[in-house]
């Protein structure tokens, strides 16, 4: 009899990682009954994927309060443990803008006061599970599991509050559970919100992080698999010819293009000014008989008009290529990628010379193609027309994984971008070996075999549960 594996999907990034990669087909080929337990608004049956929808996916309001307290307690403990104030910069400020918000914030503060210890963290986690058991969402999840009888459940995100009820119901029914740490910066940010039997991580580096930060997790609960996030770069079937791609997006075959990958407004509130600086540098290089352009891919969850004026002013240089995501709700996690976007991003990377952005994991996407990345390292936070060197983002803990500062090109001054770009284009291999070394630290290699490693680990855990 086939073993049934439920894949709990709660957001767009997780959808991309597990529904659009080889993960599903590989599981089917290996004899599993693979079912997406779908908590997103997206209809996966349209993609010929087997799914069961979650019903009434609404966590307890009290669980949200406890989650906020948990994150802040953990960040306080991380800071004290590592003697580093950087963890406090991960906190979103508590709100006192209304009576309701003030009451919530005061309750959060009271739990922080009462449970600020390693033992307190475990008590908060138990309280969250207990809170979720009282919801109709939990009851619906338990009914689904009793009907479907899966042998294993993998949550594709460790941070989604909506994942707690399904996973708690599974644990109450003695169904083994695992969660995937879905982003390279998540563990130091105290976003390991769900508690599962096992944890799938990108790398040995990330395994050591999890052991350092989450002291209640044992080494034998962690499985190193890598992330499906980069698999697309090794799938030849996804790649279009340069001629076809350029024609589809009105690009000039005589030009070389640099990709500017936009950030969300929280991470980079003046991102449009960085796009302007890059376009200005490219325009100056074109006056020196270079023939360059900028492909602009904005952050898929950024629906603002903040770039419009810059795109209009530099329309001789900038070609925007819109991400193919669908907005299916107001929250960020209801803005979902399409399979077309999976292919689009692959080809933007394949057909541009390098990427410029503010500290994102796109450095690894370009490293997979043996192409360089430039990180912006100056800010306009104090005034609209003046800048200063340095961006606080690079103080964050996940950048400590960088084995050498030479893994990227550092753009520390808008006035020198043109010269730095010229050097990159003349000597593109300068940073690549160090970028690839960083990629190997961050993500298990070979990256194209990640889904095989997932199923190997799932197989071990399903067999272990049968024993």
DSSP of 276-287: HHHHHHHHHHHT
> Could you tell me if 49 and 181 lie in one domain?
yes
CA distance 278 to 288: 16
Same domain, 54 and 71: no
At 97 the pLDDT is 92
Cis peptide before 446 (omega within 30 of 0): yes
Query: What domain count does the chain have?
Result: 3
d(CA 447, CA 426): 28
159 in Cβ contact with 177 (< 8 Å) = no
433 falls within a domain:
yes
pTM score above 0.75: yes
User: Do 15 and 122 share a domain, yes or no?
Assistant: no
Q: Which residues span the domain enclosing 88?
A: 61-128
Render 121-166 in DSSP notation, one character per residue.
HHHHHHHHHHHHHTSHHHHHHHHHHHHH--SEEEES-SS-GGGHHH
Note whether 336 and 379 are same-domain residues: yes
Q: Which of 128, 159, 182 is the last residue of a domain?
A: 128
Is there a domain that residue 185 lies in?
Answer: yes
Does the residue 232 lie in any domain?
no
Check residue 327 and give its pLDDT. Answer: 78
Q: Are both 309 and 365 inside the same structural domain?
A: yes
Beta pairing, strands 256-261 & 325-327: unpaired
Residues 339-342: contacts with CB under 8 Å, at least 24 apart = 339/20, 339/47, 341/16, 341/300, 342/16, 342/20, 342/232, 342/238
Instruction: State how beta strands 378-379 and 388-389 pair.
Output: antiparallel
Where residue 205 sits, what CATH number does that domain have? 3.40.50.2000
Angle between helices 432-442 and 204-213 in degrees, nearest 10:
50
DSSP for 21-37, written as a single string: SSHHHHHHHTT-EEEEE
In a domain, 234, yes or no: no
- Of the three residues 78, 110, 128, the one that is the final residue of a domain is 128
Do 202 and 321 lie in a common domain?
Answer: no
**Where a domain ends, among 82, 99, 128?**
128
Question: Is 233 inside a domain boundary?
Answer: no
Residues 6+ apart with CB under 8 A from 37: 6, 7, 8, 9, 51, 52, 54, 144, 153, 166
Secondary structure letter of residue 399 according to DSSP: G
Residues 118 and 155 in one domain: no
Each residue's pLDDT expressed in tens, for the chain with a length of 467 residues = 899 999 999 988 899 999 999 999 999 999 999 999 999 888 899 999 999 999 888 999 999 999 999 999 999 999 999 999 999 999 999 999 999 999 999 999 999 999 999 999 999 999 999 999 999 999 999 999 999 999 999 999 999 999 999 999 999 999 999 999 999 999 999 999 999 999 999 999 999 999 999 999 999 999 999 999 999 999 999 999 999 999 999 999 999 999 999 999 988 999 999 999 999 999 999 999 999 999 999 998 888 999 999 999 999 999 999 999 887 766 656 678 899 999 999 999 999 999 999 999 999 999 999 999 999 999 997 767 789 999 999 999 999 999 999 999 999 999 999 999 999 999 999 999 999 999 999 999 999 999 999 999 999 999 777 76
- Whether residues 292 and 417 share a domain: the answer is yes
Same domain assignment for residues 147 and 114: no
**8 SS3 class:** strand
Q: How far is the CA of 167 from the CAs of 164, 175, 189, 276, in angstroms?
A: 5, 9, 22, 46
Query: What's the pLDDT at 301?
Result: 86
- Position 386 scores a pLDDT of 87
Asked if 176 and 111 sit in the same domain, the reply is no
pLDDT of residue 326: 85
CB 200 within 8 A of CB 187: no
Q: Is 243 in contact with 253 (CB distance < 8 Å)? A: yes
């Amino acid at each position: 009899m086939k073993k049934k594996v439920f894949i709990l999907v709660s957001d767009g990034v997780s959808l991309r990682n597990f529904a659009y990669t080889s993960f599903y087909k590989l599981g089917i080929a290996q004899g599993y009954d693979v079912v997406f337990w779908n908590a997103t608004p997206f209809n996966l049956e349209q993609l010929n994927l087997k799914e069961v929808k979650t019903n009434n996916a609404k966590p307890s309001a009290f669980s949200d309060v406890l989650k906020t307290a948990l994150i802040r307690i953990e960040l306080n403990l991380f800071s004290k443990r590592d003697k580093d104030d950087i963890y406090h910069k991960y906190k979103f400020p508590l709100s006192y803008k209304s009576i309701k918000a003030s009451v919530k914030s005061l309750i959060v503060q009271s739990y922080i006061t009462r449970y600020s210890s390693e033992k307190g963290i475990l008590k908060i986690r138990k309280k969250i599970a207990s809170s979720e058991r009282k919801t109709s969402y939990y009851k619906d999840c338990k009914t689904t599991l009793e009907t479907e009888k899966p042998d294993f459940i993998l949550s594709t995100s460790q941070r989604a509050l909506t994942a707690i009820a399904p996973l708690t119901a599974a644990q109450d029914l003695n169904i083994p559970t695992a969660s995937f740490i879905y982003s390279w910066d998540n563990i130091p940010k105290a976003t390991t919100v769900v508690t599962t039997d096992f944890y799938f991580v990108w790398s040995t580096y990330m395994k050591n992080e999890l052991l350092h930060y989450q002291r209640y997790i044992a080494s034998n609960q962690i499985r190193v698999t890598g992330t499906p996030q980069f698999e697309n770069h090794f799938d030849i079937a996804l790649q279009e010819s340069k001629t076809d791609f350029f024609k589809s997006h009105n690009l000039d075959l005589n030009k070389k293009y640099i990709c500017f990958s936009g950030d969300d407004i929280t991470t980079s509130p003046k991102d449009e000014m960085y796009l302007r600086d890059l376009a200005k540098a490219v325009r100056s290089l074109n006056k020196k008989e270079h023939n360059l352009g900028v492909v602009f891919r904005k952050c898929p969850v950024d629906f603002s008009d903040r770039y419009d004026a810059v795109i209009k002013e530099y329309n001789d240089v900038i070609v925007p290529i819109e991400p193919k995501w669908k907005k299916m709700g107001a929250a960020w996690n209801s803005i979902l990628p399409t399979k077309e976007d999976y292919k689009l991003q692959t080809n933007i990377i394949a057909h541009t010379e390098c990427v410029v952005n503010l500290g994102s994991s796109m450095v690894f996407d370009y490293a997979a193609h043996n192409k360089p990345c430039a990180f912006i390292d100056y800010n306009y936070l104090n005034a609209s027309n003046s800048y200063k060197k340095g961006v606080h983002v690079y103080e964050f803990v996940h950048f400590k994984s960088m084995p050498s500062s030479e893994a990227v090109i550092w753009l520390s001054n808008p006035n020198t971008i043109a010269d730095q770009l010229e050097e990159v284009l003349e000597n593109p291999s300068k940073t690549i070996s160090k970028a690839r070394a960083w990629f190997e630290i961050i993500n298990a290699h070979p990256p194209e075999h990640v889904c095989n490693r997932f199923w190997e680990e799932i197989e071990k855990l399903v067999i272990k549960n049968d024993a």
